[in-house]
Amino acid sequence: MSSGFLRGGSSGTIPREGNFALKPYLDCIRETLGAALCVSNFASQIVERHNKPEVEVGTSSELLLNPIVIRRSDHESVLIESAVNSVRFSIKARIAAEGVARLAAASPHPAPPAPPLRGSQVKQLDEMDEILARKFTRFLMLRADNFIVLRRKPVPGYDISFLLTNFNVEALWKHKLIDFVIQFMEEIDSEISAMKLAVNERARMVGYQYLREMC
C-alpha cells in the first residue's frame, strides 16, 4: 500500500473478496469518514500565521467535534476525532480468526491467551501474536512519511492512527483517502495472520531438520 494509491483514478470502490462479514462495518466507517472529512483551511486563533491540526493541538474546544466510536466487537473498533481542519482516525484491530484457528489446531500445546502489551488492542492469543502485532505496526509507523497520512504514534488504547488534514484533502482525492484507510483495515489483520503462519511453518521445518540431523 504505497502513497501512489492516493493519487489519480476515478473509482471509489475497492473489490472486497472474502470480506463480506466485514462489509457492514467497513461501509459504516466509509460513510462516517466521508462526512467527517468535510474540513477546510483554518488558521490558529492563538498564534498568528500558524495553521496546525486542531484535532492534535486542541487549544480551541469550539473547533472540535464530538468523537465517534464505531465498534464491531470488544477487540475491533475505530475512533474518529474531527475538528474544523483535520480528522484523526484510530484503529483497534484484531488478528484474523482463520489463521489463529489453524495454528491452534496444529499446535500440540496451545498457549493460553496473553493480555495486550502496553495498551495494544490487537487480539493476541499468544506471545507470537503479541510480537508480530507490535513489530508490524512499529514497522509501518517508522515509515509514516511514505504513507503521507499515517501517524508516527497511535492514540493511547489503539494500535495505529491516521491524521488527515485539509491540506491532504486539497492535494489528494478525498475518496481515494477513504479507500486507502478502508483497504488498510482489510489487509492489516490478514498480513499479521500470514506472517504468523509463515513463522510457524518455518519453525516446523527447522525443528524437523534438527531432529533429522540428531537421529
Going by pLDDT thresholds of 50, 70 and 90, the confidence category of residue 94 is low
Predicted local distance difference test score (pLDDT) of residue 144 = 92
Average pLDDT of the chain is 80
Provide DSSP, 169-201. Answer: HHHS-HHHHHHHHHHHHHHHHHHHHHHHHHHHH
Architecture label for domain 17-214:
2-Layer Sandwich (3.30)
Helix (H, G, I), strand (E, B), or coil: what is residue 162?
strand
pLDDT tens-place string over residues 36-89: 999 999 988 888 888 899 999 988 899 999 999 999 888 789 999 999 999 999
Report CA 123 to chain centroid distance, whole Å: 13
Going by pLDDT thresholds of 50, 70 and 90, the confidence category of residue 175 is very high
Going by pLDDT thresholds of 50, 70 and 90, the confidence category of residue 153 is very high
Grid coordinates representing 80?
474518529
* Predicted model pTM: 0.72
Closest CA to 137 of 200, 88, 95, 197: 95
pLDDT tens-place string over residues 74-91: 878 999 999 999 999 999
